Amino acid sequence: MHRPFAAAILIAIAAFSALARANAAPLPEKPEIATEAPTYRSYNKEIECLTAAIYFEARGEPVRGQNMVAQVVLNRVASSFYPDTVCDVVYQNAHRKNACQFSFACDDLADEFNERAAHRMAQKIAVFAFNCDDACKASRGDIAQSTHYHADYVAPFWSKKLQKTGKVGSHIFYYTASM
């Protein structure tokens, strides 16, 4: 096993264990830290939106795949080509039926968290991904720079214009340097 990947797994296990001990306690407010990172509206709201994206886009995927879906959302927030908050990225163009950034946001289906365990896992992954620093991201390799993904059973027109960064589970991830 690669050392950086093993370190990332240990970090994830520690984070998930700490969250399990919190046992459904309300999420803490994110402390104010002066960095060049994007400014978020509300930590709890951002986690809620990121949790929804993970749950509805990737709940059947391996944990690493769910983490990468979260990373795509966060990479878009950090990009000047997308909105500045997690919620705005996740629900970008949600008013356009079947033409939004993340299909669950505009498919006209009720967005209900029917699978309790999958919802809890998505929330844990959202918290972990949201708080992942540069060293944590570096442990994921090139795939950590991804800004796009799709399921392996579709071939969207835009995928030919992007650089493939990898595949996890049934999702293929991409990055674009030309945007």
- Are 136 and 130 a contacting pair, CB within 8 Å? no
The percentage of the chain sitting over the pLDDT mark of 70, rounded to a whole number, equals: 75
From residue 47, how far is each of 120, 128, 145, 168 by CA, in Å? 12, 10, 20, 22
Is residue 45 pLDDT above 50, yes or no?
A: yes
* Distance from C-alpha of 167 to C-alpha of 173, rounded to nearest angstrom: 6
pTM: predicted TM-score of the whole model, two decimal places: 0.74
Q: Higher model confidence: residue 45 or residue 177?
A: 45
Helix (H) or strand (E) holding 22: helix 3-22
Which residues partner with 148 through β-bridges?
174
Q: Is residue 68 pLDDT above 70, yes or no? A: yes
Q: Taking residues 77-102, report their average pLDDT.
A: 89
Give the residue among 105, 155, 124 at the shortest CA–CA distance from 13.
124
Instruction: Examine the pLDDT at 4 and tell me if it is beyond 80.
Output: no
Q: Which domains does the chain have, with CATH numbers?
A: 41-175 (1.10.10.2520)
- Please check whether residue 41 is in contact with residue 48, taking contact to mean a CB–CB distance below 8 angstroms: no
Contact predicate 81/176, CB 8 Å: no
Torsion sign, CA atoms 79, 84, 88, 92: negative
What is the per-residue pLDDT for 178? 55
Is the torsion defined by CA of 90, 95, 101, 106 positive or negative? positive
Q: Is the pLDDT higher at 125 or at 39?
A: 125
DSSP 8-state symbol, 104: G
Position of tokens 């994007």? 38
Cα 9 to the center of its chain, rounded Å: 17
- Mean pLDDT, residues 21-38 taken together: 43
For the chain, what is the radius of gyration of the CA atoms? 16
